[in-house]
């Protein structure tokens, strides 16, 4: 239903997920305009010019609406916040699309970082958008995507070879 007095936080990757990325994005933007205090859109790794250009959003957007709309969408992506905190009766939660960079020692660094940049293949913005959690920690797991050495995964960061950038944690 309509987000009347209910807050919605979207964690990114609004595009490159099918044939209607433009319409999904425009719908979310319209919700944000109509319900500014209740709808929040964080930037994901597909909200970058290079990534959405590679995975199809650029082609879809230019085919349907022209290059100017694609460029405006990319400008908007760069203005999106990278993280949010949510306070609930169960506690406070820190939310973002990817993960925390091993270079982050204080959450105040998020406020100091230039979120308007395009992400490189390494560094703070890359990690915030591309880092992946380890979901399975078993030494004998056959699934290479989620299996890591138990000792290596305990509270550590290690290269995200699956993505070719950032870290797993």
Per-residue confidence at 158, pLDDT binned at 50, 70, 90? confident
Given a cut of 90, whether residue 19 has pLDDT beyond it is yes
- Determine the pLDDT at residue 3: 59
Which is catalytic among the residues 46, 97, 108, 138? 46
Q: What percent of the chain shows pLDDT beyond 70?
A: 85
- Determine the pLDDT at residue 36: 93
Average pLDDT over residues 155-162: 78
Only one residue has tokens 């009347």, namely 4
Decide: 40 and 73 in contact? Cβ < 8 Å. Answer: no
Q: Would you call 46 a catalytic residue per the annotation?
A: yes
71 Rama class: left (phi>0) / alpha (psi -120 to 50) / beta: alpha
- Determine the pLDDT at residue 52: 94
- Determine the pLDDT at residue 136: 63
9-23, 97-111, 138-152, range with greatest mean pLDDT: 9-23
Please tell me the number of Cα atoms within 13 Å of 167 on its side-chain side: 18
Write down the pTM of the prediction: 0.83
Measuring CA to CA, how many Å separate 85 from each of 78, 93, 95, 131, 138? 19, 5, 6, 18, 31
Decide: 157 and 102 in contact? Cβ < 8 Å. Answer: yes
Decide: 80 and 52 in contact? Cβ < 8 Å. Answer: no
C-alpha span between 51 and 45 (Å, rounded): 7
Given a cut of 80, whether residue 62 has pLDDT beyond it is yes
The single-letter DSSP state of residue 118 is: P
Average pLDDT over residues 63-84: 96
Average pLDDT over residues 7-13: 95
What is the domain partition of the chain in residue ranges?
Answer: 8-98
Which H or E run includes 64? helix 57-64
Q: Per residue in 79-126, pLDDT tens?
A: 999 999 999 999 999 999 998 888 888 888 888 888 888 888 888 889
């Amino acid at each position: 239903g309509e987000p009347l007095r209910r807050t919605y936080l979207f964690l990114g990757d609004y595009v490159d997920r099918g044939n209607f990325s433009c319409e999904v994005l425009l719908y979310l933007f319209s919700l944000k305009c109509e319900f500014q205090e209740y709808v929040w859109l964080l930037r994901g790794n597909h909200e970058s010019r290079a990534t959405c250009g590679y995975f199809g959003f650029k082609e879809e957007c230019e085919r349907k609406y022209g290059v100017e709309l694609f460029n405006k969408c990319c400008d908007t992506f760069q203005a999106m916040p990278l993280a949010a905190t949510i306070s609930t009766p169960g506690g406070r939660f820190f939310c973002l699309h990817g993960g925390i960079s091993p270079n982050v020692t204080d959450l105040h660094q998020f406020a100091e970082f230039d979120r308007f940049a395009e992400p490189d293949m390494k560094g703070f913005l890359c990690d915030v958008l591309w880092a992946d959690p380890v979901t399975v920690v078993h030494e004998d797991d056959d699934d290479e995507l989620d299996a890591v050495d138990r000792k290596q995964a305990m509270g550590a960061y290690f290269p995200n070879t699956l993505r070719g950038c950032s870290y797993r944690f």
